[in-house]
Every structure is written in structure tokens, then in C-alpha cells.
Amino acid sequence: MSTPEGPTSGAPTTAPVAKQVEHLRTHHGDTVNDPYAWLRDGKDPEVIAHLEAENAWTAAQTAHQAGLRGEIVESILARTQQTDTSVPSYVTHARTDGSGDEQWWYYTRTVEGSEYPIHCRAAATDPDTPPDPEAGPVPGEVVLLDQNREAEGHEFFSVGCFDVSPDGWLLAYSVDTTGAERFTVRFKDLSTGQLLPDEIPDTAYGSAWAGRSHFFYTRADEAWRPYVVLAHALGTPTDQDRTVLTEPDERFWIGVGLSADERWLLLGSGSKLTAEWSLLSVDDPTGDPRVVAPRREGVDYQVEAAGDRLLVLHNDDALDYTLAEAPLTATDHTQWRPVLPHRPGVRLVDVDAYRDHVVVELRRNGLTGIHIIPRDANGDLLPGRDLAFDEELYTVDSSGSQNWVTDRIRIVFTSMITPFTVHDVDLATGALTQLKQTPVLPHPVHGHYDPADWVQTRTWARSPDGTLVPISLVAPADVPRDGSAPLVLYGYGSYEVSIDPYFSIPRLSYLDHGCVYAIAHIRGGGEMGRQWYDDGKMLVKQNSFTDFIACAEHLVAEGWTSPDRLAAVGASAGGLLMGAVANQAPDLFRAIQAGVPFVDALNTILDPDLPLTVTEWEEWGNPLEDREVYAAMKAYTPYENVATRPYPAILATTSLNDTRVFFTEPAKWVARIRELVPADPQRPVLLKTEMAAGHGGVSGRYQRWNDLAFEMAWVIDQITTRPAAG
């Protein structure tokens, strides 16, 4: 595996300086000049030349890190079982002729040297005797999709939908080869391995089969908002596809999926605060959907078809959500009947239904959990139980079962010291059977992985308003608590997204270099329930930033690190966090690494023509109409608040084809910092742009590891190569 190249002899000797062009913005009587607004058109040769100049400067400034990058990449490769397989999943398909069922084992394989997974299946006879793909070729293996072949000739490749028809003999999959998240759907006949002539361009996420002849999918508008569900009848022209449901409200996204019992199409339309769901019988794919309960502003709910009834997870008079049931024929919320009462502080997150059980995913005390509810012979829900785990910090997710009739589900357990571990759960007893743990291979220098070499713990910081903020932390077991250890502090804090404790092979390279790694579970995320989210958005978004600063100060005060050895890392909305703390507490951090950072938030949210802006108003507020929101956003948006004073070292990374956070934002931010902040060769301000990628960066796993090594090497170089102060 090659490592990033250093600069040639013709490397630049000075940082790029972006030109300034007057561009006035006036709202609520406030006029602002935005001189770098011209850095917006990704097709403008002058803009491309500026990004390429930034890339050349970054390469020159990081050339000395090439050896460290290579070390990190080799460590990842050495510890990763590159030829690997997932645990096979047992799936039953009903034959279309009514002659019974067919059973298959589904799994994915990766091959050393290949960037992408290979999706496979093999015929099954017994749910208790899966094949062992790691022992050699599986007899009768069928390759459903080899992403490596599909990706040939493309710099970027991503799969959107991957749906096998209910009878098991057609595969619908979609591909994106630019990173713009616009997909083309293709259909494969699994009995012959041949592609059907049907091909649907310009689709978004969300898809489902109705039988084997009708395929439902979504399409996005010019703002990248999935706004319509369409139905394609195989063998007919795609320009004749039927419009099933359209969402005119620009705050709402639309989606489609198949119920667990495969009897219903579930069509959801939701904003960040409000939802509405409809049902359409798979036996009537040309019919009209029926609304389960009309939308009510501020009421969020989701629906699961559970055989003879509906299960509804909702927040109507239940801040942390409650579980209700309703008739299959329900058309109004008055038909909802509680079955799992609301418990403040226990956030119900998701529900999956099976014939004999219901599985609820939840959050409590900043940790994830799973609650299993048995059903009696009539399908009624009985008292349930929580699964118990014995680590202080962990994350557990239910991957469920793809079968309506099942006596087991799959879960994945991980912590900051425990690799991802797949278990089967006996739904009747709650007993766990470990099926596989992600292997961590011996390192040529550091030897076998031993969890005892590391310590994980949770500590709590006190924010200025008195709120206690949890921090998850992993460190070398012998780390000194005298402030001398380097520390990487990660944060996000938006959209009710929770950054839970998890294991990472690449992160071991931080620990190998003596670094402590911590996650700040700040408000705006969902770690502590719905109120935690509400207290870090809109007009109180500043809480997210003060929480993160309080976490950093707490870690310093507790002796885990010191400011000259502290790096902050965040991406996307977490990149907004990075820009805000750079402005508000620059002396607290040695370095800040901001990925695809949302640092020009005010200008973006002021422009309703930009992708996703209108849907974001329920997260940030509408500064176009609300003077108070405008003032609040202007007060914290990083680009608006760069000051003439020393800053931490900064590395901003972005992608040219990112449709969620335009490359424009970090490009403008870096230009403004260069304009106002005194240059410090020891604390460089760098911008790196992927010229063929989207919001998630490059697509292949080796490419991702190289990019990750670039970022990690930069951080390690900043916080470990100079003596600690004092």
C-alpha cells in the first residue's frame, strides 16, 4: 500500500492568498461584506486553481509527516484481517408460486487488496449450521454483487440501495460514481446473473419491493431533498413510473421501506420535528397509500407493522417517546393505545416487530440498550426485559432478523476496548451466543491486542450553567495524570446524533503514540435523551460549544492532558463545533482538525436555494425571517467571528462534490483565517480538498485508510513532537 507522496522540488514556499471581491449581504438592517463568496463555483477554473494551490501548500507543509503516515497505514493494515467475512444471516424467501419457502445464508466478503465488499449467498438447510466462508470456498456460493467490478473505471463508487425481492430472485441496487448522492438503480436476475434492461437514473436513498414486479424508490429535488416516491413496474419505460406520494413541504423528507412481515409498504414523510406515515398493501401496488395519522406540528412518530396491528413509537406528550399500538386500519392518533409507558430519561429510539416478540432500542444514562417484549398467542405485548452488559462503557445495536417468524435476533456489541462483537440473542431467554468478534491481528512491534493494555472510563465535566456533560475516554493503562499526555477530543453535538463509545483499529495508532482519546457527549446530540438535543439547538446552540470547552477544561484540570497537548477533532456539524471553539477558546487547544466543516453556517442557512437549507431551519432556526435567530447565528458562526489573535494549528478537509457541506465553506474559512490571524509556522492553517469525492470522503477502504492516516499523522505531529509546557 502506497503512502501519500511528499512535495516535489517545485513545492510552493508561501501559503495561497485568496483574492477579495466585494459581496454585500444585508438582512435585518445588518450589512456584511463577504469578500470570499466567489469561492463557490466548483466548475470555475479560478476556484479549482485555488483549491489545487491549497492542496499543494498542504502537501508541502506536511511532507515531513510522510513516514508517520506510512507507519499509521501499515499499523492499520497489520491489525486488520483484510480478507474477511461477515457472519452469515439466515433468510427465508417465500416462493411466488406458493409452493413453500427457500432459505439462504447471506454474507459479505472482503479480499485483501480490494477496496470494496463482495455480497454473496449460499443455499441453507438448517438455521443452526451456517457456512464458514473463512474456512474456504462455500459450496454453491452465489455472488450477488461484486462492488469492485462495479467500481472499475471510477475514482469514486458508492452503493445506495441493496434490496433482494421477497421471492429472493431479483436484486435491485443503486450506484453513485461522483459522491453527489444521486444514484442509478439497476436490476439483476439472480437466476441467470444477468442485468435486466430496466435502469432508473437520478434516485435518492430509500427503496422497497412490492412482490417481484413493482419497485418503489425516491427521487430528490434540486435541493437534494427526497420529495417523491415513485413505483416502477419491471419491463416498462422508467419515464412512465407512477408517482405514489409527493411531499410539497420543503421542510420534509420522504422515504419508503418494507414492513417486517412484508405485507406493507411504509411511506414516511418527516421533518426534524414532525412526521406522517402512510401504508400501502404490497398486494395492491397500484393503489393509493393510506395515512396512519395526519401530521401534527411537533409530533414525531414512526410506524412498524406487527402482523395484526401497528406499533407506533411517538413523542405526543412523551418527551422521550412512548410505544403504542393501533389497529391496522388506523387513520388517526386517537386510535393509539400505550403499551410501553413514557419514562423520562429513557429515550425510546427504534422498534422492530416479529410474530412472537417486539424489540425496542433505547438510551438510558448516556448508554444504549435493548428491551425485548414477548407477545402472547393473540399477539398482545407482555412485560419485557432489558438485556444486561457488564462493561462500564459500551454500545449495543440490534441488527434484528430479516425473518418475520424467528426465535433470535442479532446484536452488535462494542466498547472503546472491545472490538465489534456479533451475538445471537435468544428472544425467549435473553441468552447471548457470541458468533464473531472483529479480529485484531498482532502488530509487528506492539504484539497481540490485549484490552488490559488500555483503560476506558467515563468522567463528567460541569458546563457553565451547571449541566454535567459525560465524556467517554480510552487511554494507555499506564498513562500519567500529570498533564503530559497528548489527548484527542472528539465532538459532534447536533441533530440528536449520538457519538457512542466504540472500538476502532485505526484509533490504536493514537494510543500507540501515548495519546488519550476522548468523546465529549455534548448537548445537541442525543446521548442523554431528547431534552439533551433540545438544549443544544436553535437559539441555545451555544450550549454545544460551551459544553465542549468545559470538557476540554475538565480533562486538563484532571491531569489527563494540557492545552499544548490537546487536539480537537470534529466533522460536518462537528466541524462547526471545531470552528466555534477555535474562535471562543483558541488558547485551550494546540490543534484542530475539522472535516467537511459547516463553518459558514449563517450564509448557508440564509440561502433557501442551497441544498438542504429549508429542511435545516428546524435545527438552526430561520435567520431570513427571525432577527433573533440571525443575531444568534451571526454570534457563533465560525466564518463570521474569526479574530486577529493567535489560533491553534488547523487542518480543514473537504470534498469537491460534497452536497451537504459545500467545499466553499472551509475554503472561505481558511482564507479568512489567513487574512486575519498572524501567521505562525508552528501552527499552520491548512486546507485539503478531495477532488473526486462527496460528504463521506473517498469511497474505497484503502483510500479511506490513507486519508485517515493523513489526518491522524497531522494531529499526532502537532501534539506529541514538542515538550509539554511547565
Three-class secondary structure of residue 585 per DSSP: coil
Q: Which of 352, 397, 658, 717 is catalytic?
A: 658
Residues 711 and 653 sit within 8 Å (Cβ to Cβ): yes
C-alpha cell belonging to residue 66: 510522510
Q: Is 695 a known active-site residue?
A: yes
Q: Are 165 and 183 in contact (CB under 8 A)?
A: no
Picking from 417, 325, 302, the residue whose alpha carbon sits closest to that of residue 373 is 325
The DSSP code sequence of 253-288 is EEEEEE-TTSSEEEEEEE-SS-EEEEEEETT-TTS-
Q: In angstroms, rounded to a whole number, what is the distance separating the alpha carbons of residues 438 and 449?
A: 12
- Rounded distance between C-alpha atoms, residue 344 and residue 530, angstroms: 9
DSSP classification of residue 308: S
For residue 314, give the H/E element and its range: strand 309-314
Residue of 374, 359, 259 whose CA lies nearest to 306: 259
**Which is nearest to 378 in space by CA: 348, 347, 355, 353?**
355
**Residues near 448 by beta carbon (within 8 Å), at least 6 away in sequence:** 442
Grid cell digits, residue 484: 503530559
Amino acid letter for position 417: I
> In 3D, which of 601, 600, 593 has the Cα closest to residue 686?
593
Number of Cβ within 10 Å of residue 246's Cβ equals 12
How far is Cα 337 from Cα 312, in angstroms, rounded to an integer? 9
Give which of 234, 222, 125 is closest to 169, Cα–Cα: 234
DSSP states of 412-447 as a string?
EEE-SSS--EEEEEETTT--EEEEEE--BPPBTTTB
Q: Given 165, 695, 707, 717, which residue is catalytic? A: 695
User: 458 is written with which cell numbers?
Assistant: 467515563
Torsion, Cα 87 90 96 100, to 10 degrees, reads 160
Q: Give bridge partners of residue 441 from the DSSP assignment.
A: none
**For the residues of 162-201, what is the DSSP string, one character each?**
EEE-TTSSEEEEEEESSSSS-EEEEEEETTTTEEEEEEEE
Collapsing DSSP to helix, strand or coil, 312 comes out as strand
Number of residues in the chain = 726
- Choice among 572, 655, 699, 717 that is catalytic: 572
Strands across the sheet containing 290-291: 253-258, 264-270, 275-281, 290-291
Distance CA 667, CA 665 (A): 5
Residue 251's closest CA among 232, 229, 276, 234? Answer: 276
67 with 61: CB under 8 angstroms?
no
Instruction: Give the Å distances, CA to CA, from 533 to 365, 636, 701.
Output: 14, 18, 32
**Residues with catalytic roles:** 572, 658, 695
